[in-house]
Structure 1
Amino acid sequence: MESAIPSHLETTRSRHKRVPDDYAPPYPSFVARHKPAVTRVIMAYFGVQYRGEPTAAVTAALAQIAARFASENGPSHWDRAQYVDQAGFTNVVSVAYWDDAGRFDAWFAGAREAWTGGAAADGIGRLVEVLRPHVARYETLFSSTDRAEGVAVLADGMSGEIQEHAYWGGMRDRIPLSQTDAMSPGGEPRVIRDGARIRVVAHDNLCLIRSGQDWSDTEASERKMYLDDVEPVLREGMDFLRDDGVRVGCYANRYMQVVDAEGRPTEKSYGQSWWKSLAALERWSESHPTHVKIFGAAMKYLMTLGPSAKLRLYHEVTVAAADEQFFEYLGCHERTGMLNAVPVAS
C-alpha cells in the first residue's frame, strides 16, 4: 500500500490525516505519478459560447485553437467537451495540459491575444480559464490504471494501490500541501476590464475539480444500470451546482460530454467546477442531499457489480494560489464561469 503523496513531496506533518496509519481501504484506487523533476502543471480551458446551431465563426474558432495546440510549445495533451449552460447557451470547451511552465509561457501570450483580443470579436463568446499549480497543490484519483485522463496523461505512470481514499477527507489528504496547510481561501473575487475583455481576479486557494466517468467499456446490463440508475442522479447534482451552487460555495459548474475530433459525443463525461475553497467542496460532498444521492447510487452500483464493473471513474482536484490563476472572458453572458462569482454589470 502506497501513500498518495509521492515521497519527494512528503514532509513532517503539522496537520494530520483523517484516518489512522493502519487504515485499509475497501477497494483499490490509484493516483498519477509525475517525474520528480516536474514542479508545476498547467490546466488551460479555452471555451466558445453560442446559442442555437454552430455558426461558421464557431467552427473557425474551434479549428483555430486546435491549430494553436498543435503549434510550437503547445500542450502535451488536450481534449474537448460540450454542454448547454443555465442560460441556454452551448459551450464547447477545449482543455489543454502542460507540465513545463516555460513552454506554456512561451505559447500562451500569442494564443490568449488571438483568442480574446479585439480581432476575436466575431459574435461568439470566448473564455480562457487557466490554473498553473505547483504539484504540491493538486491530486488525482483513478479507479483503474490502464486509461489516464486529463492531467494524468502527462504523468510518468500510475501508482500502486494507495491508502488515502474511500473516506471523507481523502481528497484533502491526497494533496501534498495539506500536510502543513489548511488551504483556506483569502480575499474576494473582483473584476478588471480591458476594453471588451473582462478579467476576473479570484482569490487565494480557489479550488477546481474535474471529475469524470467513462462507460465506453460497459456492456448491456451494466450500461443500463449506469445510464438508468446512476447518471440521472449525477445529472441532478450537477444541475443543482450549475443553477444554485453559489449558495454552497460553488462559483460555477459544467457537466460536459466529451466529444471526439469531429465533434461527435463519446461515452465519456465530466463535471468541472470552480469552488470558493476545498472545504466548501468537502461540505457539499459529505452532507448535501444532492451528493449524498450521487454517492448512494454509485455505491449501490459498485457493490452490485464488484470487481467486474467496467465503469471507469477519475478526478483531479487543485487548490491554486492567487498567482496561479487567470480568468478572462469576451462576449460571454454574466453567469459564465468565474463571472458568476462577481457583479459584472457595466
Structure 2
Amino acid sequence: MESAIPAHLQTARTRHRRVGDDYAPPYPSFVARHKPSVTRVVMAYFGLQTRDTPSIAAEQALDRLASGFTATDGPTHWDRARYVDEAGFTNVVTVAYWNDRQKFDRWFPRARERWTGGERTSDGFGTFIEALYPSVEGYETLFSSLDRPEGVAVLADGMSGEVLEHAYWGGMRDRIPLSQTSEMAPSGSARAVRDGARVRIIPHDNVCLIRSGQDWGDTEAAERKMYLGDVEPVLREGMDFLRDQGRSIGCYANRYMTVVGPDGAATEKSYGMSWWKSLSALERWAESHPTHVRIFGAAMKYLSTLGPAAKLRLYHEVTVARADEQLFEYVECHPQTGMLNAVEAA
C-alpha cells in the first residue's frame, strides 16, 4: 500500500493524517504520478457563453481556440464540455493542461488577446478564462481505475499502486502534499477590477477547485440502468444545489457538464467543477450536507451491489491555489458566471 503523496514530496508532518498507518481502505484507488522533474502544472478553463445555441461565429471561435492548441508550446491535453447554467445560458468550457509553466507563458499571451483581450471578436457571446498554476504540492487526484486517466492526470508519467489515503472523510486533504505542514486556510477577499470590457477577479489566497468526473461508457445494460436511474439523478440534485444555493456554504460557482467529443456530440462522460472559498468549505459539504450525504449513499449502494464487476469509472482532481497562482477574466458574461460570484457573495 503506497502513500498518495510521492516519496520526493513527503516531509516531516506538523499536521497529522486523519487515519493511522494501520488503516486499510475497503476498495482500491489510485493517484496520478508525475515525474519528479515536474514542479508545477497549469489548468486553464476557456469558457464561451451564449443565450441560445452557439452561433456560427461562436463555433468559429471555438474552432480557432482548438486550432491554437496545436501551436508550439500548446497544451499536452485538452477536453471540452458544455452545460446550461442557472441563468439559462449555454456554456461551452474547454480546459487545457500543461506540465511546464514556461511553455504556457509563451503560448498564452496570444490566446488571451483573442479570447478576452483586444483581438476578441464578439457576435453576441461572452468569453472567460479561469486558470490555475499550482505547484505539485498544491493538488491531488484520485481514480477508481488505472487505465483511463482524465484531466491533469493525462500529463502524468503513470499511475500509482493502491494508495492508503482514501475512502474516509479527510482523505482528500491528506492526499495534498501541502497538508503535511499547512492548513491551507483562505485569507483576504476577492474583488473585481474592470479593464475596458474585461472584468478581472483579483482572488484571495487558497481558493479551492474540484473537478470530479464520471464515465459510464463501458457499462452494460443493467449497470447503466442502475447508474442513470439511481445514482445520476441524486448527483444532479447535489450539483444543482451547489449551482443555485452554493454561496451559502462557501461554493462560489458549480458547473455540472457533459463532455463532448471532437464533433461536438455528447459523450457518456460528465464532470462537476466548482470554485470554493476553501478546502474546508468543500470538506464540510462532502461530510455533512444532506445533498452530498445522498450522493455518497447512492454511490456506496451502487458500488457495494456491483463490487469489482462495476464498470463505472470515477475520478477527481482537487487544487488549492495561492492568489498568485490564479487568473480570472470575464467579458460580456452574466454576473453569476464563475468567480464573478465570489464578488457577488462578498
TM bucket, shorter chain = over 0.9
Is the CA contact 1:121–1:331 (under 8 Å) kept in the aligned structure 2? no
> How many angstroms apart in 1 are the aligned matches of 2:239 and 2:58?
26
Determine helix, strand or coil for the equivalent of 2:48. Answer: strand
> How many angstroms apart in 1 are the aligned matches of 2:311 and 2:72?
37
1:100-153 Cα offsets, whole Å, 9 max, x none, are 011000001111011111332412100000000000000000000000000000
Say yes or no: does 1:81 pair with 2:81.
yes
> How many angstroms apart in 1 are the aligned matches of 2:280 and 2:54?
38
* 2:127 alignment counterpart: 126
1:184-235 Cα offsets, whole Å, 9 max, x none, are 0000000111000000011101000000000000000000000000000000
Is the CA contact 1:212–1:271 (under 8 Å) kept in the aligned structure 2? yes
Structure 1 residue 54, shift from structure 2 partner: 1.6
> How many angstroms apart in 1 are the aligned matches of 2:278 and 2:303?
29
Q: What residue identity is the alignment partner of 1:40? A: R
* 2:166 alignment counterpart: 165
> How many angstroms apart in 2 are the aligned matches of 1:343 and 1:144?
39
Matches within 5 A, 1:185-334: 185-334=186-335
Say yes or no: does 1:25 pair with 2:56.
no
Structure 1 residue 314, shift from structure 2 partner: 0.1
Q: What residue identity is the alignment partner of 1:293? A: R
Structure 1 residue 70, shift from structure 2 partner: 1.0
Determine helix, strand or coil for the equivalent of 1:337. Answer: coil
> How many angstroms apart in 2 are the aligned matches of 1:293 and 1:120?
43
1:143-174 Cα offsets, whole Å, 9 max, x none, are 00000000000000000000000000000000
Determine helix, strand or coil for the equivalent of 1:152. Answer: helix
Normalised to the residue count of structure 1, the TM-score between the two structures is 0.99
Determine helix, strand or coil for the equivalent of 1:279. Answer: helix
> How many angstroms apart in 1 are the aligned matches of 2:104 and 2:78?
13
Matches within 5 A, 1:9-158: 9-122=9-122, 123-158=124-159
> How many angstroms apart in 1 are the aligned matches of 2:116 and 2:205?
25
Unaligned runs of 5+ in 2: none
Q: What residue identity is the alignment partner of 2:18? A: R
> How many angstroms apart in 1 are the aligned matches of 2:109 and 2:176?
30
> How many angstroms apart in 1 are the aligned matches of 2:18 and 2:69?
41
Root mean square deviation, CA, Å: 0.8
Is the CA contact 1:252–1:337 (under 8 Å) kept in the aligned structure 2? yes
> How many angstroms apart in 2 are the aligned matches of 1:117 and 1:43?
19
Percent identity over paired residues: 72
> How many angstroms apart in 1 are the aligned matches of 2:168 and 2:230?
23
* Alignment CA distance shift 1:330-1:309 (3 Å): same
Is the CA contact 1:118–1:196 (under 8 Å) kept in the aligned structure 2? no
Q: What residue identity is the alignment partner of 1:150? A: G
1:4-26 Cα offsets, whole Å, 9 max, x none, are 00000000000000001110000
Normalised to the residue count of structure 2, the TM-score between the two structures is 0.99
Is the CA contact 1:121–1:330 (under 8 Å) kept in the aligned structure 2? no
Unaligned runs of 5+ in 1: none
Determine helix, strand or coil for the equivalent of 1:270. Answer: strand
